[in-house]
């Protein structure tokens, strides 16, 4: 299962570390919900990563990191502040994972008007040790503020900071676990290594899959499905890394014009030509996303969220082989997009429904380091 694979796969990364003795229990706490592999047809499957507390794939990494950070901070007089930028799902998963954990304070920056109402509710419903800040800017502005805060030596001398974005390797490593579990399950059942089609924004999920392949897991190929924010697609075509201003799309959690995990991709592969041999990228328009959501029930018997619909649209452009579509979020998180396209309501998972009735707690802020510094030290 996920727990057993996590304990084995992640052990070398905790070698000679105080956390090694706690790794088994951390995995038990983090991976306590399923990631089923469901058949779509004779050759294609979907990896459902939305069965955690906030109905998104970020629950895996966030819960592992929260369990890790709380143990690392035991015995410290000052709390550890977890500073996180989110384009939708990361912040909700981190808030849920860290809420009421002793020794942790959480500050989540999210872009005004760029997350769905239910995603925003998952950010603002906590209070207590979780501070949600609505930033008057896009996700790239939020991510830039986090990086600026970490580079500010004066701020870091007064506030103990860490991050739960994928710039923190403790958030990213555990995402290898579901790729390991899915690829091994597929190999055992079908006798060959699968390819993965991954909805792609900040490139963290892609890096986790490539890392899993790098350590020897049976992964044939990695295909990145991008929306109109196609910086990685253009790079693979031209060899030029040219970050673009963020463009708003239906797949809002993937609206990232300057993906921070590109550095890891580049380091892993070493050159443009080597990266092109390991990864493909396919751009998908909003019209194609809409078409996939509308046709999902008829073709696949599935209701897709916009991000998984992006991967399903990319699948249409691939040669027939064994592919696994990575389903990163439950469609009920994007009801304002999905329900008008399918003509009926999407059933809300019980864990999400519980959060919708809670009161909101959030602040608003201009995208400046001074404003952030004031909220971190005030």
Handedness of CA 47, 53, 58, 60 (dihedral sign): negative
DSSP 8-state secondary structure symbol assigned to residue 338: H
What is the rounded CA–CA span in Å between residue 365 and residue 378?
14
By DSSP bridging, strand 323-327 and strand 195-199 are parallel
Cβ 301 vs Cβ 23: under 8 Å: no
What is the rounded CA–CA span in Å between residue 309 and residue 292?
6
Distance separating the N- and C-terminal Cα atoms of the chain:
44
58 is catalytic: yes
DSSP 8-state secondary structure symbol assigned to residue 1: -
Looking at 58, 121, 131, 333, which residue is catalytic? Answer: 58
What is the rounded CA–CA span in Å between residue 25 and residue 69?
13
Cβ 120 vs Cβ 358: under 8 Å: no
* Catalytic residue IDs: 58
């Amino acid at each position: 299962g996920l727990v057993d694979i996590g304990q084995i796969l992640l052990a070398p990364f905790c070698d000679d570390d105080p956390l090694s003795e706690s790794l088994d229990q951390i995995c038990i706490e983090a991976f306590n919900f399923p990631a089923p592999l469901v058949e779509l047809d004779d050759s294609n499957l979907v990896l459902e990563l939305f069965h955690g507390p906030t109905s998104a794939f970020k629950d895996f990494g966030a819960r592992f990191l929260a369990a890790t950070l709380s143990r690392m901070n035991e015995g410290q007089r000052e709390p550890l502040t977890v500073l996180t930028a989110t384009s939708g799902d990361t912040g909700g998963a981190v808030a849920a994972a860290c809420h009421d954990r002793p020794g942790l304070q959480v500050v989540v920056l999210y872009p005004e008007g760029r997350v769905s109402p239910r995603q925003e509710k998952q950010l603002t419903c906590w209070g207590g040790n979780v501070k949600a800040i609505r930033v008057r800017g896009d996700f790239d502005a939020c991510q830039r503020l986090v990086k600026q805060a970490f580079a500010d030596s004066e701020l870091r001398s007064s506030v103990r900071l860490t991050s739960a974005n994928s710039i923190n390797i403790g958030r990213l490593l555990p995402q290898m676990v579901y790729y390991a579990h899915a690829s091994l399950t597929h190999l055992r059942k079908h006798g060959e290594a699968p390819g993965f089609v991954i909805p792609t924004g900040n490139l963290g999920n892609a890096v986790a899959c490539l890392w899993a392949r790098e350590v020897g897991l049976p992964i044939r190929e990695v295909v990145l499905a991008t929306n109109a924010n196609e910086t990685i697609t253009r790079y693979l075509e031209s060899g030029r890394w040219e970050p673009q201003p963020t463009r708003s799309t239906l797949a809002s959690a993937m609206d990232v014009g300057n993906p921070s995990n590109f550095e890891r991709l580049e380091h892993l592969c070493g050159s443009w030509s080597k990266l092109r041999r390991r990864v493909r990228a396919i751009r998908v328009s909003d019209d194609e996303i809409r078409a996939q959501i509308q046709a999902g029930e008829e073709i696949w018997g599935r209701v897709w969220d916009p991000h998984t619909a992006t991967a399903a649209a990319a699948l249409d452009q691939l040669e027939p082989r064994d592919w696994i579509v990575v389903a990163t979020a439950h469609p009920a998180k994007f009801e304002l997009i999905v329900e008008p396209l399918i003509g009926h309501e999407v059933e809300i998972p019980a864990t999400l429904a519980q959060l919708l009735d809670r009161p909101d707690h959030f602040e608003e802020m201009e995208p400046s380091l001074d404003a952030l510094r004031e909220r971190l030290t005030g």
